[in-house]
Structure formats: structure tokens, C-alpha cells
């Protein structure tokens, strides 16, 4: 354990941890830590209030990547099998509630910010599996480059909604926003490019959404 304020080690937890711990996640409320043990085919659960291992959950061979859902009720563990699989753990009971087939040699796993999808990097299949969290079923397979690993968090959080000069709900919101952008950037084409929009039309759509119409 490391204190992030002082960058110093404050403790070590070894009792109850399996062989070759590999991946680690913390639940959003900070109450539990889940660690994949590649050499023990298991997941260790740590209670952060006591810093002790409270459960050991059996999963598939050589578990590597691990991810937690935004609401903290599900843990997703990928196991380096041929074919591979994702183990779904219920954090209230700390038991496996589903096993989802994916590609060969899954290594990395991440959950979208809204919790609706899980993406799994399959090292030996050169692919990424897409899982629907609601049904616990793979819905797509995306071919990528050779030996994808993607260990850790690899899904970018959503960008905040853009804000403009106008006031949402006001009749002149759109016109005021467009006028301010054109003046600031020397035209809407330049404004769209500077703000990362693919076209003026995309920028106009964003302004309309911001203004509420």
C-alpha cells in the first residue's frame, strides 16, 4: 500500500494473496480491492477497512486483466485460456455469476464509463471482444493488430458537453453563440477546426444541442 500524499509505502498485505498477483482494481466506493492471481487461478478480495483478505474466488487458468463496473456491483476478470473467457463476479456475494466466452488469450479488459459494454483484448486472436453488460453476452468481435494486450484502463472517459456564449433556452442563444465563435476564431470553419469538430455542420449541431433546440 502506498500513501499518495507522501509517496511512501504504508503497509504490505501478503497473507491470503495467491501466487503471481497480476491485475488490481478498487471498487468505486473504496471498500474492496480485487487482485487476479495468475499462478493460482483465483481472485483475492481485500477489505480496505481492515487491509485483510476476506475471500478467494476461483476463476479460470492464469487470470490477468480485471475491471470494475462504474456502480461497483460487478468485477470482470479475463483468463488466459484457449478459447478465452471472462468471469463475472458479483461484489455483494463475491462469487462468480457468469462466464462469457471470448477470443483466444484474453489479457486486458475495460468497461465503458456508463457500464453498458465491456471490451476485451484477445492477445492470441488479434481481436477485441465486445460484451453487452446487460445480457453478459459477446455481441461483436473487432479485428485489430497482432498480439493486443491493453493491460489496465484503456477506455477514454467521455468529453464534457461543449459550452458556448449563448444562454440555453433563450431565443438568441444560437445566434449569439455563432457570432461569438466567428469573432473569436475568424470564421466558423476555423472555429470548428480549433474545437475539434469534423465540420461546420457538426459544430452547428453541437450549438443547437447546447441551446436546446
pLDDT (tens digit per residue) in 4-33: 889 999 889 988 999 999 999 999 999 999
> Is 161 a domain residue?
no
- The parent domain of residue 181 ranges over 173-211
> Is 152 a domain residue?
no
Specify whether 66 is located in the same domain as 121.
Answer: yes
> Is 166 a domain residue?
no
pLDDT (tens digit per residue) in 109-165: 999 988 999 999 999 999 999 999 999 999 999 999 888 888 777 887 777 778 899
Specify whether 134 is located in the same domain as 199.
Answer: no
Specify whether 108 is located in the same domain as 202.
Answer: no
Report the C-alpha gap between 155 and 109 in whole angstroms.
Answer: 9
Contacts of 188 (CB under 8 A, 6+ apart): 178, 181, 182, 200, 203, 204
The residue from 125, 143, 161 where one domain ends is 143
Contact yes or no for 103/144 (Cβ under 8 A) = no
Specify whether 28 is located in the same domain as 130.
Answer: yes
Burial of 149 (0-12, 13-18, 19+ CB in 10 A): middle
> What mean pLDDT comes out for the span 95-121?
94
What's the pTM value of the predicted model, to 2 decimals?
0.76
The count of domains in the chain is 2
Amino acid at each position: 500500500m502506498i500513501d499518495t500524499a507522501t509517496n511512501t509505502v504504508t503497509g504490505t498485505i501478503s497473507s491470503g494473496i495467491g501466487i503471481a498477483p497480476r491485475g488490481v482494481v478498487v471498487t468505486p466506493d473504496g471498500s474492496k480491492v480485487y487482485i487476479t492471481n495468475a499462478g493460482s487461478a483465483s481472485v483475492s478480495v481485500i477489505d480496505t477497512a481492515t487491509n485483510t483478505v476476506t475471500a478467494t474466488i476461483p476463476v479460470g487458468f492464469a487470470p490477468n486483466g480485471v475491471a470494475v463496473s462504474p456502480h461497483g456491483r460487478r468485477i470482470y476478470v479475463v483468463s488466459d485460456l484457449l478459447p478465452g473467457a471472462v468471469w463475472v463476479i458479483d461484489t455483494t456475494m463475491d462469487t462468480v455469476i457468469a462466464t462469457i466466452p471470448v477470443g483466444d488469450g484474453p489479457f486486458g479488459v475495460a468497461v465503458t464509463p456508463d457500464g453498458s459494454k465491456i471490451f476485451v483484448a484477445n492477445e492470441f486472436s488479434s481481436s477485441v471482444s465486445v460484451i453487452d453488460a446487460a445480457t453478459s453476452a459477446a455481441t461483436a468481435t473487432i479485428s485489430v493488430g497482432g498480439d493486443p494486450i491493453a493491460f489496465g484502463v484503456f477506455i477514454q472517459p467521455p468529453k464534457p458537453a461543449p459550452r458556448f456564449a449563448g444562454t440555453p433556452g433563450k431565443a438568441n442563444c444560437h445566434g449569439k453563440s455563432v457570432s461569438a465563435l466567428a469573432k473569436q476564431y475568424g470564421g466558423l470553419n476555423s472555429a470548428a477546426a480549433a474545437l475539434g469538430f469534423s465540420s461546420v455542420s457538426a459544430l452547428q449541431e453541437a450549438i443547437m444541442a447546447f441551446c436546446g433546440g
